[in-house]
Amino acid sequence: MITRWWIAVLQLSELYVSSLVHLFYGFYIFSTAVASDLSQALNQCLRPNMCIGVREEPKRPASFDGLPPIVLVHGIFGFGKGRLGCLSYFGGAEKKDERVLVPDLGSLTSIYDRGRELFYYLKGGQVDYGEEHSTACGHSRFGRIYEQGNYPEWDEDHPIHFVGHSAGAQVVRLLQQMLADKAFVGYENTSENWILSVTSLSGAFNGTTRTYLDGMEPEEGRSMKPISLLQLCRLGVIAYDWLDISWLKTYYNFGFDHFNMSWHKIGVTGLVDCLLGNCGPFATGDWILPDLTIQGSMRLNSHLATFPNTFYFSYATKRTMKFMGLTVPSSILGIHPMLFIRVLQMSQWRHPPSLPLPYKGYRDEDWQDNDGALNTTSMTHPRIPVEHPNHFIVNDAECQPLQPGIWYYKIVEADHILFIVNRERARVQFDLIYDSIFERCRKHVFRTKQPTIPNQTHQ
């Protein structure tokens, strides 16, 4: 009895500390963005003829001169261009090339919903989540309207390079499968060849054990523990969407507008239903955390292919090392305070012995190395339920010339957020990583068409 009491006290203490750390970091990011915008606005008022602050990006040219754009896709709790003022999720990496797009997708919406949003962000039109999916998940079929697509000419002759961070990499994979399956109404000519390359930066391919530490049930990876960090997150998100403060949601949006949870649509009764878990994204499971469990990733991966004409590259991050036979954090100052506790916890996490293993061949030791958010084994390439073609490299030059249909991956000593938001943390590593990504997209990744023989057409 005493032992159980102490375990409960420790769990509540850990929840309290984790909640405070995440809350303070979120407030820090938000306040930094607000302060930067206010400072820029004040400077412009005082010195209107001077160019102050972040360099204004040039308008998108009418033609990309034959070069495909590079699309940067953010991860969980992320944001695209236009959110959080002038703050950049990718730390300003988008300025390294004139042909870069940074879409703003739902920060907590499911991988499926984000894949649909990404398609219409590029092609234009109103986001269509699909009738069957929308009915099953209890939200509106149609969402945001893009009056003009950010790359409406997108097709097999005008393919795109995608770079996805964290869950953003899995979003790109699902989008490619949707293109192959011709899953968008009114677009019968889509194919997997619309995507020229996929680069993953700490990509969430096979799930993460952190989801169980944060509150997902390890038995089936769908429901949440009654007392957990994710439950606090759920309550906060529901309240945020219900209050529906327009200027605040313009600044940052979790992406659940298609669930219609605002006060003027569902009233107090609807709020109570959402809080009790009777409706909304957390009730139907149409949000991102179930997709990030090992089981959820297996469900996604079971119908996601690696295509023979697309180039794949992956950077897997790690902030652990072996010490006297144990996996421990490899640094103290080199790991972000928000992630240090999770690096330690994930390195020691064990699958409950009373529950069935998430997949055949699962071993705890394979999942101990991590970056504070994802397990390193999950980030290299799609592994479960079937391992995809892959090749481990140490230096980028080892994979030249690149071959399509193979996941080239390398291990980088970094935590999960070293290459986003705060460029100063990564220092020279930041430029080395992104320069190599952009150089590869521009100089080493290309698709050549086979010459057409006279009087003969390709089948």
What is residue 3's predicted lDDT score, i.e. its pLDDT?
55
What is residue 49's predicted lDDT score, i.e. its pLDDT?
53
How far is residue 80 from each of residues 147, 182, 195, 253, 298, measured CA to CA in Å?
18, 26, 20, 11, 27
Domains in the chain, please, with CATH? 72-210+292-444 (3.40.50.1820)
Pull the structure tokens for residue 438.
Answer: 């952009």
What is residue 16's predicted lDDT score, i.e. its pLDDT?
59
Measured distance CA(125)–CA(207) in Å, rounded? 32
How far is residue 50 from each of residues 39, 55, 57, 155, 360, measured CA to CA in Å?
14, 12, 16, 41, 63
Measured distance CA(77)–CA(191) in Å, rounded? 29
What is residue 8's predicted lDDT score, i.e. its pLDDT?
58
What is residue 64's predicted lDDT score, i.e. its pLDDT?
52
Residue 364 near residue 349 (C-beta atoms within 8 A): yes
What is residue 51's predicted lDDT score, i.e. its pLDDT?
40
Residue type, 395: N
pLDDT < 50 positions in the chain: 50-63, 450-459
Measured distance CA(433)–CA(428) in Å, rounded? 9
What is residue 444's predicted lDDT score, i.e. its pLDDT?
83
Alpha helices in 244-286 (DSSP H): 246-251, 263-275, 281-284
Q: Give 256-259 contacts, CB < 8 A, sequence gap 24+.
A: 256/106, 256/108, 256/109, 256/280, 256/281, 256/287, 257/143, 257/144, 258/113, 258/127, 258/129, 258/134, 258/139, 258/140, 258/142, 258/143, 259/138, 259/139, 259/140
Tell me whether strands 70-73 and 326-329 are parallel, antiparallel or unpaired: unpaired
What is residue 55's predicted lDDT score, i.e. its pLDDT?
38
What is residue 62's predicted lDDT score, i.e. its pLDDT?
41
What is residue 48's predicted lDDT score, i.e. its pLDDT?
61
The secondary structure element, H or E, covering residue 243 is helix 229-243
The answer to whether the predicted template modeling score (pTM) of the entire model surpasses 0.75 is yes
Residue 258 in 3-state DSSP?
helix
What is residue 141's predicted lDDT score, i.e. its pLDDT?
97
What is residue 42's predicted lDDT score, i.e. its pLDDT?
75
- Phi/psi at 390 (nearest 5 deg)? -150, 160
